[in-house]
Chain A
Amino acid sequence: METHFEMELDGLKQKLLLMASHAETAVNQAVQALVQRDSDLAVQVKENDRVIDQFEVEIDDLVIQLLTKAPLATNLRLVTVAMKISQNLERIGDEASKVAKRARDLSREAPVKINLDLPRMATLALNMVKAALDAFVNWDSAAARAIIPRDKEVDALNKQIHEALAKHMVANPDTIGRCLNWMVATKSLERIADHAKNVAEEVVYLCEAQDIRHSGAKGQGAPAPAPGA
Chain B
Amino acid sequence: MPPTTNQTPASGPEQKSTVAPALTVRHLSVFFGGNQVLKNTSLDIAARAVTAIIGPSGCGKSTFLRAINRMHELTPEARVEGEIRLFGEDIYARGVEPVVVRRRVGMVFQKSNPFPTMSIVDNVTVGLRLNGVRQRKLLAERTEQSLRMAALWDEVKDRLHAPAISLSGGQQQRLCIARALAVQPEVLLMDEPASALDPLATAKIEDLILELKKEYTIVIVTHNMQQAARMSDYTAFFYLGELVEFGPTAKIFTSPAQKRTEDYVTGRFG
Contact = CB atoms under 8 A, between A and B. Distances in A.
Contacts of B266: 71-75, 227
B255 A73 contact: yes
B6 interface: no
Given A70-B226, A227-B266, A228-B268, A77 B255 contact: yes
B165 interface: no
B256 A73 contact: yes
Contacts of B258: 225
A12 B255 CA distance: 21
Interface string A57-97: 00000000000001111111100000000000000000000
Contacts of B101: none
B254 interface: yes
Contacts of B265: 72-73
B257 A224 contact: yes
A224 B268 contact: no
A5 B265 CA distance: 13
Size bin of chain B's contact surface: 10 to 19
Interface string A218-229: 000000110111
Contacts of A215: none
A5 B225 CA distance: 16
B262 A224 contact: yes
B208 interface: no
A158 B226 CA distance: 48
A3 B253 contact: no
A73 B226 contact: no
A209 interface: yes
B262 to A, nearest CB: 4
A72 B268 contact: no
A224 B253 CA distance: 12
B253 A73 contact: yes
A209 B259 contact: no
Contacts of B118: none
A225 B259 contact: yes
Interface of A: 3, 5, 70-77, 209, 224-225, 227-229
List the 8 closest pairs (A to B, CB-CB), nearest first: A209-B255, A225-B259, A72-B265, A225-B262, A70-B226, A72-B253, A224-B255, A73-B265
22 contacts: A3-B267, A3-B268, A70-B226, A72-B225, A72-B254, A72-B265, A73-B254, A73-B256, A73-B261, A73-B265, A74-B262, A75-B266, A76-B253, A77-B255, A209-B254, A209-B255, A227-B262, A227-B263, A227-B266, A228-B263, A228-B268, A229-B259
